[in-house]
Amino acid sequence: MNYKQKYSPTISDLLIATLFSCRSSYQFHKIIRQREFERYKKESVQVSLSRLNKKGYLKKSNNGWLLNQKGISYAKEIYLFSYISSSFKENSPANTIISFDIPGPKRTTRDWLRNQIKIFGYKMLQQSLWLGPGPMPSEFLKRLDELNIRKNIKIFSVKKKEI
């Protein structure tokens, strides 16, 4: 299973979880997670855990594996630089301009932003000036805040003027 694919429980997973959960939503979700986890080979999981432990992202405790501070930072970075799928239709009208000026040291962030607005269907007018559909999804605006770059971005709505 590709890591980008989402797990969708089968009908048998749902039935088993429903029957054994005794109407407890906590128990139901625990069973679903367990069945999802069982789809992976035990050796693959052990190798991955070992690799993450050697890199300093995990620590082993009596309750199992836990993320340490470095692991939490790494997971947050993976989340922040993951792409948001486009909610715009194929031929949405280009009614929004995005202008941005991301400082040089934040090259990774700038590259993420360019790729993300390409996913939304934006076309480059100039290096940091893009035209595409709008309004921008709230999830995207929230991500800009989390990356601390919202202050570097200007978003304009445009209308075609009839002459």
> In which residue are the tokens 């991955």 written?
48
Banded pLDDT at 6 (limits 50, 70, 90):
low
Residue 39 lies in a domain: no
Residue 136 lies in a domain: yes
Structure tokens that stand for 15 in this block: 């039935």
Residue 83 lies in a domain: no
Residue 148 lies in a domain: yes
Name the pTM for this structure: 0.65
Q: What is the pLDDT of residues 10-24, one digit of tens each?
A: 777 777 777 777 778
* Rounded Cα gap, residues 141 and 150, in angstroms: 8
Residue 106 lies in a domain: yes
Residue 104 is predicted with a pLDDT of: 82
Residue 134 lies in a domain: yes
* Rounded Cα gap, residues 110 and 115, in angstroms: 9
Residue 32 lies in a domain: no
- Backbone dihedral angles phi then psi of residue 70, each to the nearest 5 degrees: -65, -40
Residue 2 is predicted with a pLDDT of: 42
Q: Which domain holds residue 103?
A: 96-157
Q: Average pLDDT over the chain, rounded to whole?
A: 86
Residue 51 lies in a domain: no
Q: Three-state DSSP class for 150?
A: helix
Any idea which of 36-45, 72-81, 107-116 has the lowest mean pLDDT?
Answer: 36-45
Number of separate domains in the chain? 1
- Span 80-90, average pLDDT: 89
